[in-house]
Amino acid sequence: MIYLKSFLVAGIICMIGQIILDKTKLTPGHITTIFVIVGAFLDIFNIYDKIILFAGGGALVPITSFGHLLIHGALENTVKYGITGLLIGMFDLTASGITSSIIIAFVLALIFKPKD
Amino acid sequence: MDKEKYQKIVDKNIPKENVKINATKAFLVGGFMGIIGQLLLDLYTTWLDIPTKDASTYMIITLIFIGSLFTALGFFDKWVSWANCGLIVPITGFAHAMTSAALEYKKEGFVLGIGANIFKLTGSVILYGVVSAYFFGLIRVLLFGG
């Protein structure tokens, strides 16, 4: 059942992106940027948290979860540090993803040659 | 012929079916990525006996690694141009954008090439993600106290 929910939620999020891409002049860069902002926005009211509870991996895979992780990392630290916690905790939950993509991209760029 | 008229004719002649086909492809591929994500979550929680929160970190790193590796091997570009948002919106798109930028600018050197351009496509995601998370976080602290 969780797999069906994952399929539907991830599929619908990607489909919304595709429809925006086809119907407007926005580029994939615009779409991913908008989706990250939407992910952060929805968690002002804990909405994306509920989507993750409902769909598990299906809600964690799309880039919207990046916005969700940014705002929650920031908010978790406001408990201890007050408003400065937003600055301290911003990358707490996304550090692993950002760091691993940087290291992996760099090492692969050293090893491989670009096509054509 | 002025530009507006020309644009109207272009818009009229873009086949509508393509929009439906592209949306279906994105839905199916994106949904499949969601299933892979959930599958990895389940595998990591059972095999490694770790909480879901940690498993989701491993899952995201795994997808980033796969996206980057397939990009570096050269065939992921074709997959992305076929499935479009089905692979761009999932975290694999982030990895794809970063790795292809690093590979593409490799020839311009380590600092001015890879260094200056690795965030060329993903920089916007990080920039606006951080700025929006900061201000939305601020709003939430002021409204609900965190």
How many helices (H) does chain B have, and how many strands (E)?
8, 0
The pLDDT value recorded for residue B4 is 82
CB contact under 8 A, A60 and B18: no
Integer-rounded Cα Rg, in Å, for chain A is: 17
**Interhelix angle A2-23/A28-42, nearest 10 degrees:** 130
Closest CA to A89 of A70, A72, A74, A67: A74
Cβ neighbours for B78, distance < 8 A, ≥ 6 positions apart: none
Integer-rounded Cα Rg, in Å, for chain B is: 20
pTM of the entire predicted model: 0.91
Our CA-based measurement puts residue B49 at a distance from the nearest CA of chain A, in whole angstroms, of 17
Structure tokens at A29: 């860069």
The CA distances from residue B37 to A64, A66, B3, B64, B125, in Å, are: 14, 14, 45, 11, 21
Residue B123 has pLDDT above 80, yes or no: yes
State which residues of chain A have pLDDT below 70: 116
Q: Where are the domains of chain A?
A: 2-111
Q: What was the ipTM of the complex prediction?
A: 0.94
| Chains A, B: CB pairs < 8 Å | 256
The pLDDT value recorded for residue B17 is 66
All residues of chain B having their beta carbon less than 8 Å from the beta carbon of residue A78 are: 137, 141, 146
